[in-house]
Structures are given as structure tokens and as C-alpha cells.
Amino acid sequence: MQQIVPVRLMIGNHDDRATFLSVFPEQETHALGFVNYSEEIGDSAFIYLDSTQPRTHAGHFGADRCAWLQAELEKAKNARIFLHHNPM
């Protein structure tokens, strides 16, 4: 029996957000335009974070994105967080 493995898109440090969204226009985004989204799988929230910043490869996760993440975590029983850059 063949199993289908779901694929989820995430933005990385070499990606340009506008170009990414022009290639994947159906991709869910945060109200402020970040490629942040979450979904429930079983009893866990899978949370995908956009940590890119224009004109740099360094990660960035400011107060606006942090507030979105906090709201998602408050709704979650269990959570798994995915992001490109090191959170430290």
C-alpha cells in the first residue's frame, strides 16, 4: 500500500517573499503578508513561520510575528514549530 506524504511550503533565507508568493499564489499568509500559517494535524498544531527579512540572509522575527505566534500557541493543545532560521 502506497502512502502519500503531505508537502508544505516554507520560505527560506534566500527567498524573496514577493517572488515566492507570485510562484505560489495559493499559499496561505499572515494578515501582514508574512508566510506564517498553521494547521491542525491530529491533536497538534503545526505552525510554519516566516523568518525572512528583505535584503539580508539573517533571520528576523519581530514583535508582529511574535504576537501572531503567541496567539497560535495559546489556541494549541500541542504544537510543532517549523522555521528556516535558528530560533536562538
**pLDDT value, residue 61:** 85
All residues at 6 or more sequence positions from 51 whose CB lies less than 8 Å from its CB, including other chains: 13, 59, 60, 61, 65, 83, 84, 85
Which residues are registered as beta bridge partners of 10? none
Which residues are registered as beta bridge partners of 80? 46
**pLDDT value, residue 88:** 63
Domain ranges of the chain: 28-82
Q: Do the beta carbons of residue 52 and residue 84 sit within 8 Å?
A: yes
pLDDT digits (tens, 9 = 90+) for 25-83: 999 998 888 999 999 999 999 999 999 888 877 888 889 999 999 999 999 999 999 99
**pLDDT value, residue 82:** 93
pLDDT digits (tens, 9 = 90+) for 1-13: 787 878 899 988 8
